[in-house]
């Protein structure tokens, strides 16, 4: 297991912490990570208005948001909502929850997308896609007027890749090892860099909703240099479809803390 790196972290433009405690938790008891996710998701649901086209994120934090959105629709607090799911998993969840769905083809402009993130740096750049849905997430969230990221405080890092966990890259399956070698060559001067093919529980290549593969990149000291240049170099590699660095996309970050309070960061 890789040891998370202690990158320098500075939150820019934070609003004051606002209490959003779960009602059953005394102030002296710290929230679990799952409870922090739910606190952030519920607060983000307050940002949705009736009649909006809403991008529905993927993952455990986004799942709390979907449940809350469905609850607000059921009790009549929100009407006329149309959801755009970022994965097949989210599509199934939203259908079960009773949220009407559509696609980017029918709604090319999304009013608001709400999703979790694997990492958030001080400039609100993100690592996303460790669950494998980065391509669809980036399309839908990139088409959004507002992109709200919901996280618990453990997701905040000083630099992308700073957690020691993977930065994913979606690639075509054809000659995947060739693409892996190209990625390794691109970062050959990065001390401690490594990359590997993601496999499933049966040790077979993990497949995304688009039937593509994922290369997992690891940076012992985080991604160095200009992130936009790193992004451009990756995307120029034949075989690479998209990567999990979401740069300059988030408009707001809702971060839940262990004491149940929130910090809302606005770009």
Which residues carry out catalysis? Answer: 137
Rounded CA Rg of the chain: 18
- The larger pLDDT score, comparing residue 234 to residue 5, is at 234
Q: What is the DSSP letter of 154?
A: G
Q: Is the pLDDT of residue 180 over 60?
A: yes
User: Cβ atoms within 10 A of the Cβ of 142, count?
Assistant: 14
Query: What pLDDT score does 18 carry?
Result: 43
* Domains defined along the chain, listed by start: 33-153+248-258 (3.40.50.1360), 167-241 (3.30.70.260)
**H or E segment at 113?**
strand 110-115
Query: What pLDDT score does 19 carry?
Result: 40
Angle at which helix 60-74 crosses helix 33-45, to 10 degrees, equals 40
Reported as a single tens digit per residue, the pLDDT across 121-138 is: 999 999 999 999 999 999
Query: What pLDDT score does 23 carry?
Result: 43
CB 160 within 8 A of CB 10: no
Query: What pLDDT score does 3 carry?
Result: 42
Sort strands 110-115 and 167-171 into parallel, antiparallel or unpaired: unpaired
Query: What pLDDT score does 202 carry?
Result: 96
Reported as a single tens digit per residue, the pLDDT across 106-118 is: 999 999 999 999 9
CA-CA distance, 121 to 71, in Å (whole number)? 31
- Please state which of the ranges 16-30, 82-96, 232-246, 248-262 shows the lowest mean pLDDT: 16-30
Work out the percent of the chain whose per-residue pLDDT is above 70: 89
Q: Is the pLDDT of residue 5 over 50?
A: no
């Amino acid at each position: 297991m890789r040891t998370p790196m202690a990158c320098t972290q500075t939150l820019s433009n934070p609003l004051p912490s606002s209490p959003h405690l779960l009602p059953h938790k005394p102030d002296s008891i710290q929230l679990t990570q799952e409870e922090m996710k739910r606190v952030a998701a519920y607060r983000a649901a307050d940002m949705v208005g009736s009649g909006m086209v809403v991008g529905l994120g993927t993952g455990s934090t986004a799942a709390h948001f979907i449940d809350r959105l469905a609850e607000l629709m059921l009790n009549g607090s929100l009407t006329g909502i149309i959801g755009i799911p970022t994965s097949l998993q989210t599509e199934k969840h939203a259908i079960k929850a009773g949220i009407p769905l559509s696609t980017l083809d029918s709604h090319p402009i999304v009013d608001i997308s709400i999703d979790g993130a694997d990492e958030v740096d001080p400039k609100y750049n993100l690592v996303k896609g460790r669950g494998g849905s980065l391509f669809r997430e980036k399309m839908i969230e990139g088409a959004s007027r507002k992109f709200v990221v919901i996280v618990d405080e453990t997701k905040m890092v000083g630099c992308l890749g700073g957690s020691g966990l993977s930065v994913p890259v979606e690639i075509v399956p054809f000659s995947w090892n060739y693409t892996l070698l190209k990625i390794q060559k691109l970062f050959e001067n990065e001390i401690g860099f490594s990359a590997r093919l993601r496999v499933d529980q049966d040790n077979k290549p993990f497949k995304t909703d688009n039937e593509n593969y994922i290369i997992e990149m690891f940076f012992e000291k985080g991604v160095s240099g200009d992130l936009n240049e790193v992004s451009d170099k990756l995307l120029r590699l034949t075989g690479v479809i998209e990567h999990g660095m979401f740069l300059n996309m988030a408009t707001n970050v809702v971060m839940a803390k262990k004491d149940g309070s929130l910090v809302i960061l606005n770009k």
